[in-house]
Structures are given as structure tokens and as C-alpha cells.
């Protein structure tokens, strides 16, 4: 039992007494002298001093154990020469995960059957490669099909050379969804759908698939903690019951965020395409019920960052032919690349980048406060 300077009595283990007092007496006796505690109660560490001419007399008094409050030194239970154990608790704190960065390109095609791509398409890919995201999505219309007698093999070969191969060489996963000019589900286009499947079956993105049984049409995968679902929606009007049931099941997949993407939008965005949408109230209810973060679509060739309640509805601009004006506007939507970031289950950034080098953000203030009317209206996401 040792009595401390505050008057309390504490039991000190034998090994601690040995380590703290006896061993230091033997090892440091010739060269150290302990400083006495000053009158203000401060405790100071012993400091080395020059050994006196005769240490035999002073050693006994200078090494008497000091019963003042000990310093914070951890007792050394190791043998001389051994490394003292580190009792510091490990730091289990992990840095927060980096935001998942996504780029979306859409409607890149030209005239029917074309195997050439506009300079804007090449410039857009250049911009994506200059600031590479973790994932690139396409919301359809990559080639200019939906007409008989076209050379689909040549058309897809040109698209891959212009876009797909460049992204693959950079190691960026590229996940596509069919557009009506790629793989129309209307009667009479089965050969076109076969060509689409052949063009992509060996080009699946390097991601963790949840369901790829119908890749590259409808499928689901996870990157980081975000679930992505491609819809096979090349038709105007509500999804069929079979695909809706599939979507309901796949959206049960645990994820921090869920992004659904397809070609035809849920509700219209652009002039001249007022009737070309899904108009699917049941689908909207399903997406909301599964806490889907965003539904991103193409086909209308106009950028709009929209929202209906908690569900973000994002229309993408085209990179190819035929930019359109938003509903109620006379201004043609600029060609753009959509970029968004998802962090901790939320979209933290969503912007469209336009200009010759796709380096200029389209200001939301330049867009209508809403598009459409009545039950089909979509409001701007910042209002």
C-alpha cells in the first residue's frame, strides 16, 4: 500500500513497484538525480546531471522513491533492451467514403443509318476522359436505327470506336440502356433488338450485378453502395405488368441510394414530345415507395433537373442531332453532359455541362420553374 500526496492509499502491484523503483535504482543510480517537487505541487521529471566525484554517499538519498503524484509514464514491465508494449488503443476511425461520381450521355445519334458522329460527341467524350467519373451511363439512342435495311453492325462498330472503346481504354465502366433507335420494342424490330444484344453482350460494365439475366436491356447492378437499374422502356405508355413486377422485386435490394434510368421519361419535358412519355402513375408510386433517388431519362433532347415530391426526374439533353426546347420555352436546350455525385445516400451534386468543351455549367436560373401542366407537371429541383 502506498500513500499518495493527496492522502489516498492505493494498492500498487508488486511488478509495478519493481519496474518503477527497484530497477531504475539499479540502472540509473550512477547518473541520475531526481528533482524534488517544488512547493507549488508541480511534479517534474528527473533530468540527467553530471555524475559527482564521489557517488557513494549521495546515491542513497537521491534515489529514495518519490511518493508525490506520479507522472503519466506507463510502467515498463519489459526486460532491459526490450521494447515497451504500446497500450494506446488503435484508431478505428475510417475516413468517410468518397462521393460516387457519375456522368450521363444521351441521344448521340445522327441521321438514319449514319456511321459518323458529330464533333460534339467526340468533344463530350474528351471532357469525360479529362475528368473521369466512376461510372458512365447512357440513356439510349446511341445509333440511328428504327428503320429497315440499315447496317447495324457498321453503326455499332462506329459507336464503339467513337465512345465505348475510349471509355473502356480509360477503365471507366459504361452502362447503357436501349433507346427507340437502338432496340425498339415495337413490332417489326426484332432484328434491331438482336443487333443491340450482339453489340453489348460482351461489353458488360465491370460492376457487381444484382440481375443481368436480360442484359443489356433491363438489368440491375451496384457500384459502391448505390443501386442502378436499367429499364427497357423504348415504348410510349406504361410499363407492362411483367417488367413492373421485376422492378418492384429488384428495388428491394439493400442500398444507400437507388437510381433508375431508361430512355422514355415518366412525364414529358420537351416541345414536340408532349405525348411521348410513360405517363405511368403506378410506376411513379412504385419508385417513391422504394425511396428511389432519381429517374434519369433521354429521348426528349432537353436538359431539365426536375422533381415531383421526393423523386427527382432528370431529363438529359442530346449530344447528337435535334436539340429541343423545354415545354413552355422557345430556347433550344444546349447539348450537354450530365454529371452527378452521390454521397451517403444523397445526390449532393447534379449539373449539366455544356459549351464546346463541355466545361460550362447550365445555370438552373436559366430554366423554367416547371415544365408541363396539371397532373403531369414537373418542378425544378431547386424550388
Instruction: Find the CATH number of the domain harbouring 115.
Output: 3.60.21.10
Tell me: do 8 and 146 sit in the same domain: no
Considering the domain boundaries, does residue 158 fall inside one?
yes
Considering the domain boundaries, does residue 71 fall inside one?
no
**What's the chain's average pLDDT?**
84
DSSP string, 251-297: TTS--SEEEEE-SS-SS--BTT-TT-S---HHHHHHHHHTT--EEEE
Flag whether pLDDT at 103 surpasses 70: yes
CB 324 within 8 A of CB 270: yes
Considering the domain boundaries, does residue 294 fall inside one?
yes
Tell me: do 115 and 226 sit in the same domain: yes
Tell me: do 136 and 29 sit in the same domain: no
Flag whether pLDDT at 94 surpasses 90: no
Structure-derived torsion over alpha carbons of residues 286, 292, 294, 298, reported in degrees to the nearest 10: -40
Tell me: do 191 and 328 sit in the same domain: yes
CA distance 250 to 264: 20
Q: How confident is the model at residue 92 (pLDDT cuts 50, 70, 90)?
A: low
Tell me: do 320 and 273 sit in the same domain: yes
CA distance 13 to 18: 9
- Non-local CB neighbours of 360 within 8 Å, separated by 6+ positions: 353, 354
List the one residue out of 203, 252, 199, 206 whose CA is nearest residue 229.
252
Tell me: do 169 and 310 sit in the same domain: yes
Question: Which of 44, 62, 80 represents a domain boundary (last residue)?
Answer: 62
Question: For residue 326, what are the CA distances in angstroms to 110, 120, 234, 333, 382?
Answer: 21, 20, 21, 7, 17
List the one residue out of 357, 250, 294, 366 whose CA is nearest residue 102.
294
pLDDT digits (tens, 9 = 90+) for 8-44: 444 444 333 334 444 444 434 333 333 433 444 333 3
Tell me: do 139 and 19 sit in the same domain: no
Tell me: do 259 and 309 sit in the same domain: yes
Question: Which of 43, 62, 81 represents a domain boundary (last residue)?
Answer: 62
Which contiguous run of DSSP H or E holds residue 26?
Answer: helix 23-28
Query: Would you state the pLDDT for residue 20?
Result: 46
CB 337 within 8 A of CB 103: yes
Considering the domain boundaries, does residue 154 fall inside one?
yes
Flag whether pLDDT at 49 surpasses 50: no
Tell me: do 258 and 304 sit in the same domain: yes
pLDDT digits (tens, 9 = 90+) for 73-82: 444 454 444 5
- Non-local CB neighbours of 14 within 8 Å, separated by 6+ positions: none
Tell me: do 48 and 161 sit in the same domain: no
Query: Would you state the pLDDT for residue 122?
Result: 98
Considering the domain boundaries, does residue 79 fall inside one?
no
Tell me: do 51 and 123 sit in the same domain: no
Tell me: do 31 and 123 sit in the same domain: no
Considering the domain boundaries, does residue 268 fall inside one?
yes
List the one residue out of 114, 168, 108, 115 whose CA is nearest residue 140.
108
Domain that holds residue 135: 100-380
**How far from the centroid of its chain's Cα atoms is residue 112's Cα?**
36
Considering the domain boundaries, does residue 123 fall inside one?
yes
Q: Quote the percentage of the chain above a pLDDT of 70.
A: 75
Q: Give me the residue label for grid cell 435535334.
A: 322
Collapse the DSSP code of 147 into the 3-class scheme (helix H, G, I; strand E, B; otherwise coil) and give the result. coil
CB 120 within 8 A of CB 319: yes
Split into its structural domains, the chain has a count of: 2
Considering the domain boundaries, does residue 88 fall inside one?
no
CA distance 302 to 314: 10
Amino acid at each position: 500500500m502506498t500513500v499518495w500526496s493527496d492522502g489516498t492509499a492505493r494498492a500498487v502491484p508488486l511488478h509495478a513497484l519493481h519496474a518503477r523503483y527497484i530497477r531504475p535504482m539499479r540502472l540509473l543510480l550512477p547518473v541520475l538525480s531526481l528533482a524534488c517537487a517544488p512547493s507549488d505541487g508541480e511534479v517534474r521529471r528527473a533530468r540527467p546531471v553530471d555524475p559527482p566525484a564521489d557517488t557513494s554517499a549521495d546515491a542513497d538519498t537521491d534515489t529514495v522513491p518519490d511518493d508525490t503524484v506520479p507522472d503519466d509514464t506507463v510502467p515498463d514491465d519489459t526486460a532491459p533492451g526490450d521494447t515497451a508494449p504500446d497500450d494506446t488503443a488503435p484508431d478505428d476511425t475510417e475516413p468517410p467514403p468518397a462521393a460516387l461520381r457519375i456522368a450521363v450521355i444521351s441521344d448521340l445519334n445522327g441521321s438514319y443509318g449514319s456511321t459518323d458522329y458529330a464533333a460534339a460527341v467526340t468533344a463530350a467524350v474528351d471532357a469525360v476522359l479529362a475528368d473521369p467519373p466512376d461510372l458512365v451511363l447512357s440513356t439510349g439512342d446511341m445509333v440511328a436505327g428504327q428503320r429497315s435495311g440499315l447496317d447495324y453492325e457498321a453503326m455499332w462498330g462506329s459507336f464503339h470506336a467513337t465512345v465505348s472503346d475510349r471509355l473502356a481504354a480509360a477503365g471507366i465502366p459504361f452502362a447503357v440502356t436501349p433507346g427507340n433507335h437502338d432496340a425498339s420494342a415495337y413490332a417489326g424490330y426484332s432484328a434491331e433488338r438482336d443487333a443491340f444484344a450482339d453489340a453489348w453482350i460482351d461489353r458488360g460494365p465491370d460492376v457487381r450485378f444484382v440481375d443481368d439475366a436480360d442484359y443489356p436491356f433491363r438489368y440491375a447492378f451496384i457500384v459502391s453502395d448505390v443501386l442502378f437499374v436499367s429499364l427497357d422502356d423504348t415504348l410510349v405508355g406504361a410499363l407492362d405488368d411483367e417488367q413492373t413486377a421485376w422492378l418492384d422485386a429488384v428495388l428491394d435490394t439493400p442500398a444507400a441510394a437507388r437510381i433508375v434510368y431508361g430512355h422514355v421519361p415518366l412525364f414529358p419535358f420537351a416541345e414536340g414530345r408532349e405525348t411521348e412519355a410513360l405517363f405511368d402513375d403506378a410506376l411513379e408510386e412504385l419508385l417513391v415507395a422504394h425511396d428511389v433517388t432519381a429517374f434519369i431519362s433521354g429521348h426528349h433532347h432537353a436538359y431539365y433537373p426536375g422533381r415531383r415530391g421526393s423523386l427527382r426526374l432528370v431529363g438529359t439533353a442530346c449530344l447528337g442531332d435535334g436539340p429541343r426546347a423545354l415545354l413552355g420555352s422557345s430556347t433550344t436546350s444546349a447539348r450537354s453532359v450530365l454529371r452527378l455525385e452521390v454521397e451517403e445516400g444523397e445526390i449532393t451534386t447534379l449539373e449539366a455541362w455544356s459549351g464546346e468543351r463541355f466545361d460550362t455549367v447550365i445555370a438552373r436560373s436559366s430554366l423554367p420553374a416547371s415544365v408541363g401542366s396539371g397532373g403531369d407537371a414537373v418542378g425544378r429541383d431547386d424550388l
